[in-house]
Amino acid sequence: MWGTDLDPLAQGRLKDADPVAVLDIGSNSIRLVVYERHGRVLTPLYNEKSAAGLGRGIATTGKLSDQAVERGIRAIRRFALVVRLMQVSRFYVLATSATREASNGAAFTAQVEAVTGVAVRVLTGMQEAHFSALGVLAGINAFSGIVGDLGGGSLELARLEPNGETEGETHALGAIRIQDDSGLSLDQAGPIVRERIGRSSIVKHAAGRTFAAIGGTWRSFAKLHQIRSHYPLHMVQHYTIAAADAIELCDLIISAAKNRRALTGMREISANRRELLPYGSVVLGELLRQGEFSEVVFSALGVREGYLFSLMTEDERHADPLLVGAAEMAQLRARSPLHGAELVGFSDTFFAATGIAETPTENRLRIAACHLSDIGWRGHPDYRGEQSVDLIAFGSMTGIDHKERAFLAEVLAVRYMGLKHKSGSAPVMKLAGEVASRRARLLGAVFRLAYPLSAGMPGVLGRLGFDTVDDRLVLDVPREWEFIAGERVRARLKNLADEAGFTGCGISTDP
């Protein structure tokens, strides 16, 4: 049969990476995520959810409805097949508030275990808060602030410190729970939410801190904010807005829902989330008011990633997800990952010779850019730049905010398309800001010089260096390699010197 000699595992995946899966049984939805491997960067191989609505009615009946259980088990049967097809090495099943609160929760978990062959871990509210906080830390390097995970049945709050320590709370404030408790009345929902948040000791001591928002309803809120503000990136991870702006949108959503008024952008939100969004806005708005937070950052990573993060070694947890992810992308896409490492040293010599200072943040971005600098080589020459920019601007990297993502996109735009490029992603790159954009252009100019010197292969850049003489930028090359400075190299060196503010440039072959 055709194709029987093909390797079932694509070469576009990391070598010897064993997939790991997490099934998250929530109050509103059941979601399966299969990750490429259990490492510092949790890259989804497959992601699917079913809106089973297990938490609907628990506040009044105290149990999972037969219909919700039937929907849930049907979805889980499919997910179990997916796990087998993807040859998952480890499979974890987590259940949250609906399962732990329902009187028939144990019977439901027994059915899940029979289908999956895996023990279900029913998380306590404190455990859910803890893993949610670690999920934020998995995607936002060294995050410190207050984490809130809004599910269908409950709201978990956690204080997260830079060292990873957490302190958590759980509250009966899930979007479905508030709908049920308020009798679908937003007027009644406000006082209920206000009183329950008022019990939180974490919120009482949050003034001036950042609030990290997790959960599908709040992701929809972030998406709506992006649509209404004509934001050029439509991704939630690490999207940050002022708390005052978030409160304003909360009030607008609630008012529109009460008055049955159409709200611009709402049609682009899924019907399921559209129904819950006004209640999620009541919770978010009240949290931000009582906590006096300074800003809100949205996280696409939560309990699932936090649980896997908790199982990592200490070295893995302390690794920088941006740098790990950039190195992995180089391994998958570059002609020579080792050349990217040499490019780090080559750019080191440029910044040292020119006396251009670097902050720790600028340094990590430069290292990441070096690893990512050759990811477009397979593309058509006319489109390598745009394809590379898209991979960075719209990719699934973590450990990077939107301004930093825009910085890296600008570096690659210059590397492939030149200093006068007119990329279609220019609105995204403007997010970096003027100062960072100038640095990105400079680093891109370094790359444009490096590649014709080395042909993208290791063994050359480590023997080259830079110097400055009488306001001239000088490229130092070994005497036996004086032929390396051809016409293209000299033109690229002049562009780099001009961008760095030098009056001239030259090549030195002195021993």
pLDDT tens-place string over residues 253-302: 999 999 999 999 999 998 888 999 999 999 999 999 999 999 999 999 99
Residues paired with 239 in a beta bridge: 298
How far, in Å, CA of 387 to CA of 224, rounded? 27
Q: What pLDDT sits at residue 6?
A: 47
235 and 315 in contact (C-beta within 8 Å)?
no
The stretch 134-147 carries a mean pLDDT of: 94
Is the pLDDT higher at 150 or at 423? 150
408, 414 contact by CB (below 8 A)? no
pLDDT-derived band at 338, boundaries 50, 70, 90: very high
pLDDT of residue 264: 93
Angle between helices 434-454 and 402-417 (to 10 degrees): 40
Domain ranges of the chain: 20-122, 126-306, 321-508
Q: Is the pLDDT of residue 8 over 80?
A: no
pLDDT at 146 over 50: yes
Predicted local confidence at residue 165, as pLDDT: 79
Q: Is 111 exposed, middle or buried (0-12, 13-18, 19+ CB in 10 A)?
A: middle
The answer to whether residue 98 scores a pLDDT higher than 60 is yes
Those residues whose C-beta lies under 8 Å from the C-beta of residue 393, and which sit 6 or more positions away, are 233, 405, 406, 409, 425, 428, 429
| pLDDT tier for residue 1 given thresholds of 50, 70 and 90 | very low
Q: What is the pLDDT of residue 56?
A: 87
pLDDT of residue 413 exceeding 70, the answer is yes
List, for residues 418-443, the tens digit of each pLDDT value.
Answer: 999 888 888 999 999 999 999 999 99
* Domain made up of 20-122: CATH architecture: 2-Layer Sandwich (3.30)
Which backbone phi and psi does 407 adopt, to 5 degrees?
A: -60, -50
Q: What is the pLDDT of residue 2?
A: 40
> 321-508, what's its fold?
Hypothetical protein af1432 (1.10.3210)
Mean pLDDT of 459-467: 95
CB 197 within 8 A of CB 282: no
pLDDT of 276:
94
pLDDT in tens, 194-253: 999 999 999 999 999 999 999 999 999 999 999 999 999 989 999 999 999 999 999 999
Q: Which of 157-166, 367-376, 398-407 has the lowest mean pLDDT?
A: 157-166
pLDDT of 32: 97
256 class by beta-carbon count within 10 Å (0-12 exposed, 13-18 middle, 19+ buried): middle
* Identical topology for domains 126-306 and 321-508: no
Higher-pLDDT residue of 141, 231: 231
CA atoms within 13 A on the CB side of 390: 8
- Structure confidence by residue, pLDDT tens digits, 464-511: 999 999 999 999 999 999 898 899 999 999 999 999 999 999 999 875
Q: Domain 126-306 is of which CATH architecture? A: 2-Layer Sandwich (3.30)
Measuring CA to CA, how many Å separate 264 from each of 126, 154, 229, 267? 38, 29, 11, 8
pLDDT of residue 361 exceeding 90: yes
Of the candidates 170, 401, 190, 209, the residue with the CA atom closest to the CA atom of residue 288: 209
Q: Is the pLDDT of residue 4 over 70?
A: no
Residue 3 has pLDDT above 90, yes or no: no
Percentage of the chain modeled with pLDDT above 70: 98
The mean predicted confidence, pLDDT, of the chain is 93
pLDDT of 157 higher than 90: yes
Q: What is the pLDDT of residue 11?
A: 67
Torsion on CA atoms 84, 90, 91, 94, rounded to nearest 10: -170
pLDDT tier at 5, thresholds 50, 70, 90: low
Report the percentage of the chain scoring pLDDT > 90.
Answer: 86
Which position has the higher pLDDT, 161 or 195?
195
State the pLDDT confidence band at 10, using cuts at 50, 70 and 90: low
